[in-house]
């Protein structure tokens, strides 16, 4: 276990994390601190408990919006993939018809020459 020190809302916290996770904990703490700083600027005198609650809600809202956007993009990707498969099937069918016609032409030409 590693111990890391992070600062959120001007307060220092010591946390334990798994081996090799310190950098990620620092990154996440910076994200939380940035969010908290925006809340603190907007509402002076916001207590620590309320600041952490509001920060959690703001970050949860952002996460929910990101998940919704991800689902929307997955749906769009599925529609695009379907259109690509449909177009590819059409192209293969067209190529097959042309090859059949070419093979028939070659057979007729060979029969006429022979």
Mean pLDDT of 97-103: 96
Q: What is the mean pLDDT of the chain?
A: 92
Per-residue three-class SS string for the chain: CEEEEEEECCEEEEEEECCCCHHHHHHHHHHHHHHHHHHHHHCCCCCHHHHHHHHHHHHHHHHHHHHHHHHHHHHHHHHHHHHHHHHHHHHHHHHHHHHHHHHHHHHHHHHHHC
Q: Which residues contact 7 (CB under 8 A, 6 or more apart)?
A: 13, 29, 33
Give the pLDDT confidence of 49-71 residue by residue, as tens digits: 888 898 999 999 999 999 999 99
Owner of token pair 């028939």: 104
Place 42 in a pLDDT band, splitting at 50, 70 and 90. Answer: low
Degrees (nearest 5) of the Cα angle 72, 65, 43? 165
């Amino acid at each position: 276990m590693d111990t890391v020190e992070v600062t959120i809302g001007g307060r220092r916290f010591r946390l334990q994390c798994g081996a090799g996770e310190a950098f990620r904990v620092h990154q996440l703490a910076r994200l939380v601190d940035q969010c908290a700083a925006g809340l603190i600027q907007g509402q002076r005198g916001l207590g620590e408990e309320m600041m952490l609650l509001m920060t959690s809600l703001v970050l949860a809202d952002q996460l929910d919006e990101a998940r919704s956007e991800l689902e929307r993009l997955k749906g769009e990707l599925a529609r695009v993939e379907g259109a690509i498969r449909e177009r590819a099937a059409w192209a293969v069918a067209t190529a097959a018809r042309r090859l059949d016609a070419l093979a028939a032409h070659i057979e007729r030409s060979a029969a006429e020459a022979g």
